[in-house]
Structure 1
Amino acid sequence: MPKPMRVGVYIPEDLVGELEAIMREKGIKSFSKIVQEALRLYIAEHSWKLKDRVTGIIGLLYDHEIGHVDEELVDIQHMYLDVVVSYMHIHLDERNCMLAIAVRGSREKVRELVGNLEKTKGVKLIRLMLV
């Protein structure tokens, strides 16, 4: 196992206050553990850009009252059956729905899929979480 490296990090006072409140709530005593977790999350969120194949979830919030958005979202998923593994449809309220689309495959195809989903009228928010 590689030897740990000590680094200095300057954190603005307002962030320190928020961080300390979360640490108290969670019972965490070590700033190092928090920084390590934050770095792991950052690496997980951005390292997919360096890989050819990715796995993860596309989270999507949309207004199902707009046009034929449900049908359009299904049609788009069918265009990407090579990367769409599964999906879950969640009713949030009378107008809003959420999709969780599991993906696995080519990074470029997943990026293209997200781009097409984003362009769909009625889509409010897309969040990509790759691991």
Structure 2
Amino acid sequence: MSDLVRLSLSIERPLYEQLERLAAHGEFANRSEFVRGMIRDRLVHEAWQGDGEALATITLVYDHHQRQLTEKLVELQHTHHSAVLAATHVHLDEHLCAEMIMVRGAPGEIRHLADHMRRWLKIPLFLPTALLILIYLISTIFSLSPLVSLWGSYQRMQGTYSMLSYIVVFALIAGNLRTREQVERLV
């Protein structure tokens, strides 16, 4: 005999219809399994917000050529040796590595550790994206009135803006090409 308890609940019709649609298209065999799954998800969410002990895996994918990143990761793991249970390093290609670090501790400590690691990862698109945003701002500010435009007329500024945008897009593409096959595909 199973340890199941029958539960009855009342909900609005639109919410019921959404529940039926989700339950029908999900990985659950019936509505009861779907509701049990939602309750379990919520319990896991609540446990992750609490102060109890949690077990988690922090996964990082990074370019191993990034200066001193590997040393920083090892140093941080040794600094938090009581929280770090195991680490696995995988070479994805000649540039990218994946690091899976199993940690145990309070959820807040695990989040802090993960955030600390995330800060070291440089965003390869940050500089070109920031440059593109700067171009948008400059073109907007200096193109609003021909009297304050450093480039003269609005039409000339549009040409300058377009040229600078093409340079940034080129930098975005060139900065993310990693293999000869990618270059050949582009050309």
Shift of 1:33: 0.7
TM-score by length of 1: 0.67
Query: C-alpha offsets along residues 67-88 of structure 1, whole Å, 9 cap, x if unaligned?
Result: 2222221111111111111111
C-alpha change, 1:40 and 1:123, in structure 2 (3 Å) is farther
User: What is the match of residue 129 of structure 1?
Assistant: none
Distance 1:21 1:63, change over 3 A: farther
After superposition, what is the alpha-carbon deviation per residue over 1:76-112, rounded to whole angstroms, capped at 9, x for unaligned? 1111111111111122233222222111224443232
Unpaired stretches in structure 1, ≥5 consecutive residues: 125-131
2:8 corresponding residue in structure 1: 6
Residue deviations 1:22-71, cap 9 Å, x none? 44xxxx43022123223313322441221232222222222223222222
Q: What value does the CA root-mean-square deviation take over the aligned residues? A: 3.1
d(CA) in 2 for partners of 1:84 and 1:91?
A: 21
| Bigger CA radius of gyration | 2
**1:37 to 2:27 alignment:** no
Distance 1:64 1:98 in 2: 9
Q: Is the 8 A contact 2:24 2:30 kept in 1?
A: no
Distance 1:46 1:31, change over 3 A: same
Q: How many residues align?
A: 118
Percentage of pairs with the same residue? 23
Q: Relative to structure 1, is the Cα distance of residues 16 and 2 closer, same or farther in structure 2, using a 3 angstrom cutoff?
A: closer
The alignment partner of 2:71 has SS state of helix
Cα drift, residue 11 of structure 1: 6.8
Distance in structure 1 (CA, Å) of the matches to 2:123 and 2:78 = 17
- 1:16 equivalent among 21, 24, 43: 21
Distance 1:94 1:37, change over 3 A: farther
Aligned CA distance change for structure 1 residues 70 and 110 (closer, same or farther; 3 Å)? same
Partner of 1:70: 70
Greater strand proportion: 1
